[in-house]
Amino acid sequence: MDFMRVTLEIGPKGKKVVAVAPDWPGLARGAKTEEAAVERLLAYVPRYAPVAKLAGLESALATVPVVEVVERYPGTGSTDFWGISFAFSSIDRQVLSDEALERQLRLLRASWAFFDEVRGRVSAELRRGPRGGGRDRDQIVRHIFANEQDWAKGLGVITPDEAMLTDEGMNAHRDAYGNAIRAFHAQGKMARKWPLPYLIRHTAFHTLDHAWEMEDKDLTAGGG
């Protein structure tokens, strides 16, 4: 039987719960109840499958996993407001082996590759919300890049804005991001106040969340 470890981050006011699959960086979904959060997480497993495939871990990702809730832990006010993980589980605080870290980084790199593939095929203009809100593709891309630049500073990685606009510069940024995480891991350091496993999964989540958003709002024929 294929089990998937899941942690549940519970907002302080109980408004939102986030189900996180700690072994699959980026696979996390929030909802109003524990049951709904787990159900939503499982609904996204097929969407995560291309990421696992890009990382060479397709066979390790169960298509219909049995969820094993291994921890419930308190979230922050942002957990309740956004329905996104902003707190650390005990698993996030564990020291990873070198092998486990490399597995996590492979999945992060695969998340980036998936994002690049999606942004290369969706329409420049994306479907708006009911009230006309929302961002276009390039606005989402800039948002992703700006956040990564900020998080990278916590690793001592400074990437100029112009470098994020070329494939060569982006690949260099991502290499530096991963290598800095390896260096911090070797020294037993955190990135600012973030444990490294959390930084990896949060970066992957943010990348994939917006990749899936672009897919859902794609206006090209057959998109969305």
pLDDT digits (tens, 9 = 90+) for 22-34: 999 999 999 999 9
Q: What is the pTM for the complete model shown? A: 0.95
pLDDT beyond 90 at 164: no
Rounded Cα distance between 201 and 217, Å, is 24
Q: How distant is the alpha carbon of residue 115 from its chain centre?
A: 11
Give residue for tokens 């998109």.
223
Determine the length of the chain.
224
Find the mean pLDDT for residues 57-70: 94
| Predicted pLDDT of residue 209 | 98
The helix/strand/coil state of 82 is helix
Q: What is the pLDDT of residues 175-198, one digit of tens each?
A: 999 999 999 999 999 998 999 999
φ/ψ (deg, to 5) at 31: -160, -175
Rounded Cα distance between 139 and 210, Å, is 11
Angle 183-184-190 (CA atoms, 0-180°, nearest 5)?
170
Rounded Cα distance between 178 and 102, Å, is 9
Find the mean pLDDT for residues 45-50: 97
| Predicted pLDDT of residue 163 | 84
